[in-house]
Amino acid sequence: MVPPTMEMVLYGNVKGGHHMRRWQWPPDPRTGEVGMLEKLVFKEEEDSESGVYMRFMRSHKCYDIVPTSSKLVIFDTTLQVKKAFFALVANGVRAAPLWESKKQSLLFASDMPKSAFMKQNLQELGIGTYENIAFIPPDTPIIKALNIFVERQISALPAVDERGKVVDIYSKFDVINLAAEKTYNNLDITVTQALQHSWQYFEGVVKCSKLETLETVVDRIVSAEVHRLAVVVNEADSIVGIISLSDILQALFLTPAGAAPKETEAE
């Protein structure tokens, strides 16, 4: 039976830039040759650190990042043959690579260097919206909040108290709770009253400063497991800006190398 195939990717330097080659592994059992699937050459101007994510997106197809049901089993060379045999059977594989811990090592995602622009702060990168920010008082009726969603084409609204501090966030997702609670006929209730019915879905308000790095903000959003936006506040905890997930994705993947991201409407 022909063993399952996998792809090998090799990155290297060439004059005026660098290249990426993708091969199919294992080799053809009849010829012993390795079939090349794709070869891409990047120009030197695309080879800066700030374009690393953009190059990754260009050189990979959506299928490349889809998780597979298979797993890679690796045996240490000091493992007993008997245990290795039972491990092969238990995992349903016919072969496994050997790892000599004294001579070789594995490359983990945490070992990869991070781009320098991830260490720049939000103000330097120009990420986010800092003018004409859409927000509402906590006592705003739901019907008014829904109208703002439609008019401004946004997906979430920070709730700001009389002191200018952010106390909550009302999103389009919270509107679903109106149907779940069968209160969609009463759109005159306030945002605060509506959020009291959706506390189990509350993701929290992620706050940050314009002087914090993009890496810090991304880590904070991931740790909080929020799917909306980050609110930029000043020393008095007053709202001064909004950063949406689309702003961050644009800065990471769509912005050309060396160009500052364009400020967008908060979503």
- Mean pLDDT score of the chain, rounded to an integer? 73
Cα–Cα distance measured from residue 122 to residue 232, given in angstroms and rounded to the nearest whole number: 10
Instruction: Give the pLDDT confidence score for residue 249 in this predicted structure.
Output: 85
CA 246 to chain centre: 10
CA distances from 159 to 182, 232, 246 (A): 23, 13, 21
Question: Greater confidence, 81 or 195?
Answer: 81
Q: Report, as an integer, the average pLDDT of 57-78.
A: 73
CB 49 within 8 A of CB 69: no
- pLDDT tens sequence across 22-62: 555 555 566 655 555 445 545 555 456 667 777 777 777 77
**Would you put residue 173 in left (φ > 0), alpha (ψ -120 to 50) or beta?**
alpha
Pick the range with the lowest mean pLDDT from 3-17, 84-98, 161-175.
Answer: 3-17
Instruction: Give the pLDDT confidence score for residue 95 in this predicted structure.
Output: 82
Question: Greater confidence, 247 or 12?
Answer: 247
Q: What is the helix (H) or strand (E) element at residue 239, kind and residue range? A: strand 239-244
- pLDDT tens sequence across 205-257: 888 999 999 999 988 888 877 766 778 888 888 888 888 888 888 888 776 54
Q: Reduced to 3 states, what is the DSSP secondary structure of residue 113?
A: coil
Residue 246: DSSP 8-state: H
CA distances from 84 to 106, 122, 258 (A): 19, 51, 50
Q: How much of the chain exceeds pLDDT 70, in percent?
A: 61
Cα–Cα distance measured from residue 146 to residue 4, given in angstroms and rounded to the nearest whole number: 52
Instruction: Give the pLDDT confidence score for residue 181 in this predicted structure.
Output: 64
Q: Reduced to 3 states, what is the DSSP secondary structure of residue 190?
A: strand
Please name every residue paired with 6 in a beta bridge, in sequence order, or none if there are none: 25
Instruction: Give the pLDDT confidence score for residue 264 in this predicted structure.
Output: 46
Instruction: Give the pLDDT confidence score for residue 137 in this predicted structure.
Output: 92
3-state SS string over 36-65?
EEEEEEEEHHHCCHHHHHHHHHHHCCHHHH
Q: What is the pTM of this model?
A: 0.53
Q: Report, as an integer, the average pLDDT of 129-141.
A: 90
Question: Greater confidence, 121 or 116?
Answer: 121
Q: Reduced to 3 states, what is the DSSP secondary structure of residue 170?
A: strand
- Structural domains of the chain, with CATH: 1-70 (no CATH), 73-101 (no CATH), 117-254 (3.10.580.10)
Cα–Cα distance measured from residue 177 to residue 195, given in angstroms and rounded to the nearest whole number: 9
Cα–Cα distance measured from residue 149 to residue 135, given in angstroms and rounded to the nearest whole number: 11
- pLDDT tens sequence across 155-186: 888 888 888 888 888 887 777 667 666 666 77
